[in-house]
Structure 1
């Protein structure tokens, strides 16, 4: 006599519930990360707590609070800065320069000099003062 079971166990696994959980976690992390990144944080960039200050490169770009640019203590107009830096660093095997920006200088002035370094693949350092 052949007996049949009424309830058979299905050996298949459904990914639908796992997909729903992953999707909800993704939405949760996207919302919380965007809320965290929009918070305002008061920072004071020109200070560092490093006990060993790095060696200063030969070429230094100084940005004053009024927007004037200086390369090795020589004032250079903004529109001529890129050409001057390219000429000054063309002889170096590993071209690099240091940005020394006043803490009251505009961020766009610093980004302008950083974009010159990125365009020409120069190494870049940003000078800071040591915390007391």
Structure 2
């Protein structure tokens, strides 16, 4: 019985370990990308030839845990809130108020303040802590 040997050599590339390597690289980059920027939204903003900086008067409206109202550290009565906001923001073109409400107050107290701002057509921004 005569055995024949193959005289032609066929080149082979062993790729069985490449799957493991690619999986570990993919896993590594996924973990690193979530740790590096967990809460960042990346935006490409348009550029302008000239920029305009608006100087807005910043008014702070604070409500403490005893429902006392303060406009820029000046205490006011709750009944006079609308009138005081009108007088403070009468000369401002785009009125904006930073609202600081104690966390122990009910949501209804915040809604009452926001309704007063909506009635006066004032933009209100709620301040929070980190």
TM score, norm. by length of structure 1: 0.54
- Which residues of 2 match residues 83-122 of structure 1 at below 5 A? 83-122=83-122
Helix, strand or coil at the partner of 1:65: coil
Structure 1 ranges of 4+ moved more than 4 A: none
- Which residues of 2 match residues 1-132 of structure 1 at below 5 A? 58-130=58-130
Aligned length: 77
Displacement of 1:57 after TM fit?
5.9
CA contact (8 A) 2:99 2:125 kept: yes
Unaligned 5+ runs, structure 1: 1-48, 51-55
Query: Which structure has the larger Rg over C-alpha atoms?
Result: 2
Helix, strand or coil at the partner of 1:60: strand
Unaligned 5+ runs, structure 2: 1-38, 41-55
Helix, strand or coil at the partner of 1:94: coil
TM score, norm. by length of structure 2: 0.55
CA distance in 2, matches of 1:127, 1:78: 20
Query: What's the Cα RMSD here?
Result: 2.0
Deviation digits for residues 64-92 of structure 1, max 9, x if unmatched? 11111111001111000110001101100
Helix, strand or coil at the partner of 2:93: coil
Q: Which of the pair has the greater relative contact order for Cα pairs under 8 Å at 6+ separation? A: 1
CA contact (8 A) 1:61 1:70 kept: yes
CA distance in 2, matches of 1:73, 1:81: 14
